[in-house]
Amino acid sequence: MPTALLVIDFQSTVFDNPPAFECDAVMTRIAALIAATRAVGAPVLYVQHGENDGDWQVGSDGWQFPAAIAPQDGEYISPKSICDAFEHSTLAAQLANLKIDELVVCGYATEFCIDTNVRRAASMGIAVVIAADAHTTRDRPHMRAQQIIAHHNWIWRNFGGIELRDSVAIVFGRD
């Protein structure tokens, strides 16, 4: 089963205004997943959110990926301006070209971009493994970030086609 790692929106702005929940620890886990993926020659794919202004402004410092997890030359980056990275992009075509039928997902905005893309991929018939400890969000007016993460992990465990594993239990190159 050809597997790829999909890093969604974990850009420098997650460390600002205020920082996302446990963002340093999550970045460390994402960096380890990227290293493990590259070590076996599996693809690392990135989704990069961009807007015309604000914290996610295209070209700004906040829009960049942190150096510890930055894409290497030749790695696919899918730009987006809405939660759904598959909409108005070449992401689905890229997965098809690489014959990817399993995605390991990590990154930022558990309840927005992570949730949207996990469900979209699962609905497309792609097996999804969520790195349960390598996605994060910020506190929201109605719920703390830790509760949002726990809530979504519970939902995904009960949603067909989705599996959750801690990042240290994800092994690439099993095919």
Contact by Cβ (8 Å): 167, 134: yes
Q: Does residue 175 form part of some domain?
A: no
CATH code of the domain containing 146: 3.40.50.850
- pTM as predicted: 0.97
pLDDT band for 174, please (50, 70, 90 cuts). low
- Smallest CA-to-CA distance from 166 within 60, 61, 29 is with 29
What domain range is 51 assigned to? 3-169
Would residue 121 count as lying in a domain?
A: yes
Average pLDDT over residues 63-67: 98
Q: How many domains does the chain have?
A: 1
Note whether residue 174 is domain-resident. no
pLDDT tier for residue 31 given thresholds of 50, 70 and 90: very high
